[in-house]
Chain A
Amino acid sequence: MRMMTRRTIATMVPAVLALAITGAATGPAAAFKLGMAVGGEAASNWQKPQGEVAAALAKQRGWEYVELSNNLDAAVATKNADIFIQDKVDAVIEFNGRPEVNPVLAAKFAAAKIPVVTYDISQKGFYFVGIDNLAAGIAGGEGLGKIAKEKWNCDVDLVLSSEGAGAGIVNEWRTGGMRTGLQHICPDIPKEKYISFEGSGQVAVAAPAARDVLAAHPDAKKILVVGLNDAGVLGAVQAAVQLGRGDDVIAWGQDGAFITGDNVDPHLAGSVLYFLEGYAVYALRDVIDPIAAGNPPPMKDTGDDPASKVKPCPVTAEQAKSIPGIEERVKQLMAAPAGTTEFDLFCPKS
């Protein structure tokens, strides 16, 4: 036993010394370390590129970069916060689709004195970078309303809302905002024409739910669809097509995931692009770069007064034809001068 203790001490002392020397040598000159918690919702094609853009920008600056996935799960997001704190990152970017746990994360990061940027979902004590979801929702609803007015003179039989309750307040802002925007243009659509169903922001969930709602409204011939995101809206479109009523539907999405490229559903009349994959440009330019330089910006943690505001880009399907797909957008963004946003590069000017 005594031998083992001596051996252990003999092994550990040099190891601890070596670690201490290494730490001392690298400590003061250590690179800035950025932690990024990506959303981890597989159904959204921008979530992975969102991390890739942050990684590329961190690399350009010679920073260390640590990426974890929140897996769209509150418990995982909490565990990730602990890992970032243990890893002694200098700043964190959070995209957390389970905002109910954000106060817990905020308390942990505040205790560790780690500044945090949050995308799109505000949290007291986190720098807010993102879209005004309510404004984006209203813009989308108004875009759809203009088409409904032009085509049907606002005489609508049904307004389907593909909700995503899991997104909490974001769903209320976007989907509810779209209804509000629609009412701005078509104020006389009766309340009973508005029907909601749970689509979870996924085609595979939204399609069967919308099929049932459409079957229960067999006489509806002029149908508008709004929702949390493009995928949820497309689920309703898919359902209408399957029931032989595709041409009765006009849909407008949010997030722009399926409005670009050469395989766009003809019933998707438009969407609101946020260029979510490129948010890191805003976060680094307006918040993290100043922190890394030792000049942290004043805390702005609300959507009304954000640390960096992302402009929504509502587009019709016709306008979207000029916008490249997500891979090409990321490529062009990386090649653009520092601080250039995707809105600058791609949002149609008219």
Chain B
Amino acid sequence: MTEMAATTPSTTPGRWNALRANLPTGWGAAATVALAWIALIVASGIHRADFLSHQTVLAVSFTMAIVGVLAVAQALIGMSGAILDLSQPTGLIMSAAVVAWLLERNVPIPLVVVAGILVGAAWGFANASIVVLAKLNPIIVTLATNFIGGAVMFLVYQNAQAPLKSSFSDFGRSYFLGLPNIWWPMLILILVVGYFLPRTRYGRHMIAVGGNRFAAQTRGVSLKKTRLAVFSIAGAIVGGAGVLFACSNGPFAPTAGATFQLPVIASVILAGCSLSGGRGNVWLILLSVGFLSTVPTSLVFFGLNSNWQAVFQGIILIVAVSIDGSRTKRTQR
């Protein structure tokens, strides 16, 4: 595991604790989520054998794709100590709307993709600028900008849609190696960010700021620059999610991004990424997103209607936040 933590948890006597101390940090969260996921799959498979089918894999992986990308961006924000970016839904849809608008005007697809990512980056930079310049709480700022951005988009358009008969839309509904095309960028992003975050100077700065910003500042790390960079990079990732959303969905309204907010936050917390900053392993997002994306599909196989999904996701979020809180307390001790 390539966990990056700003503060090393203290060890306590005992064989078990000694063994645990020698394991890479984050293994506990990984093992818990992996076991829960396996148990869910096994239980669903026993209940109904046809759960273990390619159709289920497709349903789950389509759900994973955009949630996973957004979760990486949210994890970066959380690990850097900015807690949460609540403006992700607006950033996602703003990017997707620009993508649809450009495609309607026959702009070449590579340029459209770049534009979508840049729109997200600009949105992240705008958020960071307000946070840094006005010295405001990132949660409050992004909550407000989410409302503002959504309202402005509503003034501009009601529904956007990428042209159905285009290679862009074809990409969004096609597969590679039996999995949706849009799933693979998520996998690559998680692997790349998870690898480089603890191994690059910028990545370490980001986590150091999240762990203890005063200590980081005394070491010459600029809080302002780091925050601007993190929000911009996370925004670019959200913009990338917007591109994937535009190619894989039909018509979408300015409010369409709201549906991702809860599973994204739950995935980040369940993956053990601390919202108070300084700790997290991006690779574990693959497990948490996979688990959370399997839950609604399983519920349908168990005959529970879709209203139960929100109930289960809410419960999982509460459990995850409780675990995160106890982890933080343990670390502070």
Residues of A bordering B, CB below 8 Å: 42-45, 47-48, 196-198, 202-205, 207-209, 211-216, 218, 231, 234-235, 237-238, 241-244, 246, 257-258, 263-266
B296 interface residue (CB < 8 Å to A): yes
List the 3 closest A-B pairs by CB distance, nearest first: A43-B253, A204-B256, A215-B59
What band does the interface of chain B fall in when counting residues whose beta carbon is under 8 Å from A? Answer: 35 or more
Report the stretch among B118-126, B267-275, B300-308 that lies at the interface.
B300-308
Contacting pair B251 A203 (CB below 8 A): yes
Closest to A205 in B: B259
Q: Say yes or no: A238 contacts B250, CB within 8 Å.
A: yes
Please choose the segment from B80-88, B137-145, B157-165, B206-214 that sits at the chain A interface, where 4 or more of its residues have CB less than 8 A away: B157-165
Q: Which chain A residue shows the least CB distance to B50?
A: A218
Q: B231 interface residue, CB < 8 Å from A?
A: no
Bound complex: CA of A257 vs CA of B161, how far in Å?
A: 13
**CB-nearest residue of chain A relative to B56?**
A215
B246-274, CB under 8 A of A: which get 1 and which 0? 00111111111101000000000000000
A263 in complex: contacting residue of B150, B158, B163, B307, CB < 8 Å:
B163
Partner of B251, one of A242, A246, A258: A258
Q: B306 near A203 (CB under 8 angstroms)?
A: no
Complexed CA–CA distance, A234 and B252 (Å): 11
Known contacts: A202-B256, A265-B164. The answer to whether A48 contacts B158 by CB under 8 A is: yes
A209 to B310, CA, bound (A): 11
Q: Are B306 and A212 in contact (CB under 8 A)?
A: yes
Q: Kindly provide the distance from the CB of A211 to the nearest chain B CB, expressed in whole angstroms.
A: 4
A-B contact pairs, 9 of them (CB 8 A): A48-B158, A198-B306, A204-B259, A207-B250, A208-B62, A212-B300, A216-B297, A235-B250, A241-B173
- Alpha-carbon distance between A196 and B304 when the two chains are bound, in angstroms: 11
B290 on the A face (CB < 8 A): no
User: Which of B161, B249, B253 is within 8 Å of A42, CB to CB?
Assistant: B253
Other A-B contacts than A45-B159, A207-B250, A216-B297, 19 sampled, CB-CB below 8 A, are A42-B255, A45-B158, A203-B249, A203-B251, A204-B256, A204-B257, A208-B63, A209-B306, A211-B59, A214-B59, A215-B300, A216-B50, A218-B50, A238-B249, A238-B250, A241-B173, A242-B62, A242-B180, A258-B159
Indicate if B200 sits at the interface (CB-CB under 8 A).
no
Q: Return the contact of A211 from the options B62, B154, B254, B307 (Cβ within 8 A).
A: B62
Chain B residues positioned under 8 Å from A258 (CB to CB): 159, 250-251
Query: Contacts A43-B159, A263-B163; is A218 near B53 (CB within 8 Å)?
Result: yes
Determine the chain B residues whose CB is within 8 A of the CB of A263 once the complex forms.
Answer: 161, 163-164
Q: Who on chain B is nearest to A44 by CB?
A: B158
List chain B residues, Cβ under 8 A from A197: 305-306
Q: What 0/1 pattern do residues 271 to 301 of B give for CB contact below 8 A with A?
A: 0000000000000000000000000110111
Across chains A and B, the number of contacting residue pairs, with CB separation under 8 Å, is: 111
**By the criterion CB–CB under 8 Å, are B250 and A218 in contact?**
no
User: Given that A243-B55, A265-B164 are contacting pairs, would A204 and B252 also be in contact in the complex, using a CB cutoff of 8 Å?
Assistant: yes
Contact B154 A42 (CB under 8 A): yes
Q: Does B58 count as interface, using CB distance less than 8 angstroms?
A: yes
Q: How far is the CB of B175 from the nearest CB of chain A, in Å?
A: 8
On whether the beta carbons of B297 and A215 are closer than 8 Å, the reply is yes
Question: A216 is contacted by which of B175, B251, B301, B309 (Cβ under 8 Å)?
Answer: B301
Contact of A231 among B48, B50, B55, B251 (CB under 8 A): B251
Cβ of A203 and Cβ of B250 under 8 Å apart? yes
Known: A212-B59, A212-B300, A214-B55. A242 touches B173 (CB 8 A): yes
The B142-179 residues at the A interface (CB cut-off 8 A) are 150, 154, 158-159, 161, 163-164, 173, 175
Per-residue A-contact encoding for B209-250, CB less than 8 Å = 1, 0 else: 000000000000000000000000000000000000000111
User: Which chain A residues lie closer than 8 Å to B259 at the CB level?
Assistant: 202, 204-205, 208
Interface-central residue, A42, A198, A204, by most chain B CB under 10 Å: A204
Determine if B158 and A243 form an interchain contact, defined as CB atoms under 8 angstroms apart.
Answer: no
Chain A residue numbers with a CB within 8 Å of B255 are 42-43, 202
**Which A residues are CB-close (under 8 A) to B164?**
263-266
Known A198-B306, A238-B250, A263-B161; contact A218-B296, beta-carbon cutoff 8 A = no
Report B270 CB to chain A, min CB distance, Å: 18
Complex interface residues of chain B between 174 and 205 (CB less than 8 A to chain A): 175, 180
Chain A residue with Cβ nearest B166: A263
User: A104 vs B173: C-alpha distance in the bound complex, in angstroms?
Assistant: 47
- B250, A265: Cβ atoms closer than 8 Å: yes
